[in-house]
Amino acid sequence: MVRHFMLAMCMLLGSIYVKAQKTDRMEEVVVLTRFEVKKDQGEAFRTLLGKYVKQAVGNENNIMAEAHYEEESPSIMWLIERWTSKQVLEKIRGSAIYQQVNTLSEKELVQPVRTIYVKDLEPLSKEAWRREPMKEDTPITIMLFVDSKAGTGSLFKELYHTAMPQFRGEPGVINYQLSQLQEDSTQFVTYEKFRNEDAFQYHLNFPPIQPVIDYLNSSIKQQPFQAGLHRLIRFAPSGNGKY
Q: Does residue 8 lie within any of the structural domains?
A: no
Q: Does residue 14 lie within any of the structural domains?
A: no
Closest CA to 73 of 224, 233, 195: 233
Q: Does residue 1 lie within any of the structural domains?
A: no
Total of domains in the chain: 1
| CATH number of residue 185's parent domain | 3.30.70.100
d(CA 74, CA 233): 9
Per-residue pLDDT of the chain (243 residues; tens, 9 = 90+): 445 444 444 344 344 433 443 334 468 999 999 999 999 999 999 999 999 999 999 999 999 999 999 999 999 999 999 999 999 999 999 999 999 998 888 888 888 999 999 999 999 999 999 999 999 999 999 999 999 999 999 999 999 999 999 999 999 999 999 999 999 999 999 999 999 999 999 999 999 999 999 999 999 999 999 999 999 999 999 866 566
Q: Does residue 121 lie within any of the structural domains?
A: yes
Q: Does residue 16 lie within any of the structural domains?
A: no
- Number of other residues whose CB lies within 10 A of the CB of residue 61: 14
* 115 in Cβ contact with 154 (< 8 Å): no
Q: Which residues contact 117 (CB under 8 A, 6 or more apart)?
A: 29, 30, 31, 181, 182, 183
Q: How far is CA 45 from CA 41, 61, 79, 117, 231, in A?
A: 6, 25, 12, 22, 19
* CA-based end-to-end distance of the chain: 61
d(CA 79, CA 66): 6
191 class by beta-carbon count within 10 Å (0-12 exposed, 13-18 middle, 19+ buried):
buried
Angle subtended at Cα 44 by Cα 43 and Cα 50, rounded to the nearest 5 degrees:
85
pTM for this entry: 0.86
Q: Which domain holds residue 136?
A: 27-236
